[in-house]
Structure 1
Amino acid sequence: MALLNQQFYITLGLYAGASACYFIGYRKDNLLQVASVLTFIGFLSNFILWISRTVMSGRLPLTNGYEFVLSFSLITVLMYLIGEYKAKIKRAGGIVMLINTLLFLSIVLLMPGQINTVSPLMPALKSPWLTVHVITAIIAYSSFALAAGLALLQIRNYTPKFEVVIYKLVASGFAALSLSIVLGAIWAEQAWGSYWTWDPKETWALVTWIIYAVYLHLRQEGWRGENANTMVVAGFILVLFTFFGVNYLLSGLHSYALLL
């Protein structure tokens, strides 16, 4: 168990170091290369944690807060590395890796006991719908995280190429979020007897969906620039509230993050 704690803090340190190198190294190519290497090593370390949790629990780590953040960070960094290689979005590296650093810090502050503890699943979570519902949500959240990182850069230094990348990321995330909501509704009907209960998580997921739907609609109408990018950032803030706010401020049927 001590090894898992060490691995966790190593991953946190790698992500923090990568973020710092990206921010400092915008005009120093050598430091940017170091940042990319730290990001890749951090991803591998995160993956080791993810595999270890899978082995410990005997299932994919998708249930409580620690497991969700572990998977969320893993997919976000993977998508960023692919984007850095294919779309040349290295300028967003500092912000994206800072997001992942803060996600890992949230584990330290809000759920430290979950790192080394695995508890039996609640009856409602013992469903094949769990995997597809949560994985599609994670893909959506990761897409929105990358889009927000690029959008923050766009607000300060507009680049037409990144505008297209942001749009594609939001569109992909929106499709994944839509699928996640539909799958969650099917699962809810089986678990609780109703497709929609206006639970806080459902409500805020719907609000987030509407924000991104408005952005995509306005984008089709030719909307560009600072206001559009501000909406993308605002959408991601809602994504974070949908997870952290609902689980730690608002109680409801979806408040599983506190579970060990």
Structure 2
Amino acid sequence: MCWFTLLVGAMFHGAAILLRSYQIGQLAVTSSQEALSFFAWMLVVVYLAIQLKLQLRILGSFVSPLAVIFMMASRLLPASMVPKSELFKSGWVILHVTCLFVANALFALAFSVGVMYLLQERQIKSKSFGFLYPRLPSLERLDTISHYCLIAGFPLMTCGLVAGFAYASMVWNSPWNWDPKEILSLVTWCIYAFLLHERLTVGWRGRKAAWLAIFGFSAVLVTFLGANLLLAGHHSASVR
């Protein structure tokens, strides 16, 4: 029932985003309000798609509050209107935005799974089994799910950044402009590159990987929100 409710909500939310995009003549992600709303929608859509494969409904109990938080944040931000621009209709921009939002949604799932892992591990070590214990998957399965989310998300993040650099090269005649969001995005990319390297070559698993997945998504939030709202640059000019 909860899965079906999320599905219906995602369908209506997606229709609203399409309608908004049609009204403004460009993908509705140019303001902070729109970007947060789009991310909340993408997070639920990615979860629903993964749920069909994994049959892990307890994950929805962690993903849904995240989506609600992002939607509430989008409503609390001051209303803003970004002028219609041909710049936002570029195929590079669409590729850049789509890849990064899907990647960030996968990283949010890895974050949620990391939290679930730490909760499960704590209950097992303390032998204090709460109401969540019977509903949580095994530690091994949680670690595997987090691993696959990262493996799928990292190439998408890389593709999104490359598309962004290509677009910047066309618009500003340079792929790198020392924009705050560019710097923070590169730092976040390095965090996930390090995590994947340690997982694939060193064999990091369990607690370390869970904490780093949580730390990585925290960096995503700093990049996604901090650069847009607090720091001046090309991206802040386009999303406020």
Q: TM-score range by the shorter chain?
A: 0.7 to 0.9
Paired residue type of 2:239: A
What do you get for the CA RMSD once the two structures are aligned?
1.6
Q: Indicate how the Cα distance of structure 1 residues 99 and 187 shifts in structure 2: closer, same or farther if over 3 A, else same.
A: same
Counting aligned pairs with the same residue, the percent is 30
After TM superposition, the structure 1 = structure 2 runs for residues 34-45 of structure 1, keeping only pairs within 5 Å, are: 35-45=2-12
Do the aligned partners of 1:62 and 1:131 also contact (CA within 8 Å) in 2? no
> Could you tell which deviates more after superposition, 89-98 or 182-191?
89-98
Match of 1:223 among 201, 204, 207: 204
C-alpha distance in 2, partners of 1:168/1:234?
17
SS in 2 for 1:157: helix
Aligned to 2:166: 186
C-alpha distance in 1, partners of 2:82/2:24?
6
Match of 2:189 among 202, 209, 212: 209
After TM superposition, the structure 1 = structure 2 runs for residues 1-260 of structure 1, keeping only pairs within 5 Å, are: 33=1, 35-111=2-78, 113-114=79-80, 119-121=83-85, 124-158=87-121, 159-220=139-200, 221-255=202-236, 256-258=238-240
C-alpha distance in 1, partners of 2:51/2:91?
34
Q: 1:129 offset after TM fit, Å?
A: 1.5
Aligned to 2:125: none
Aligned to 1:16: none
SS in 2 for 1:232: helix
Task: Could you tell me which runs of 5 or more consecutive residues in structure 1 were left unpaired when the two chains were aligned.
Answer: 1-32
Paired residue type of 1:129: W
Equivalenced residue count is 221
Q: 1:165 offset after TM fit, Å?
A: 1.3
Task: Could you tell me which runs of 5 or more consecutive residues in structure 2 were left unpaired when the two chains were aligned.
Answer: 122-138
> Could you tell which deviates more after superposition, 177-186 or 62-71?
62-71
Do the aligned partners of 2:180 and 2:227 also contact (CA within 8 Å) in 1? yes
Paired residue type of 2:229: Y
- When normalised by structure 2's length, the TM-score is 0.86
Do the aligned partners of 1:75 and 1:142 also contact (CA within 8 Å) in 2? yes
Do the aligned partners of 1:152 and 1:229 also contact (CA within 8 Å) in 2? yes
Deviations 1:61-117 (A, max 9, x none): 232223322322222111111222211222221221111101111111114x24xx5
Do the aligned partners of 2:29 and 2:239 also contact (CA within 8 Å) in 1? no
C-alpha distance in 1, partners of 2:140/2:55?
13
C-alpha distance in 2, partners of 1:128/1:81?
27
Paired residue type of 1:68: A
C-alpha distance in 2, partners of 1:42/1:147?
22
C-alpha distance in 2, partners of 1:253/1:118?
13
C-alpha distance in 2, partners of 1:142/1:44?
17
Q: Which protein, 1 or 2, shows the higher relative CO under an 8 Å CA cutoff with sep ≥ 6?
A: 2
C-alpha distance in 2, partners of 1:185/1:252?
15
> Could you tell which deviates more after superposition, 246-255 or 53-62?
53-62
Do the aligned partners of 2:39 and 2:101 also contact (CA within 8 Å) in 1? yes
Q: 1:38 offset after TM fit, Å?
A: 2.2
Q: 1:245 offset after TM fit, Å?
A: 0.3
- When normalised by structure 1's length, the TM-score is 0.80
Deviations 1:30-67 (A, max 9, x none): xxx3x223212221221121121122123332322233
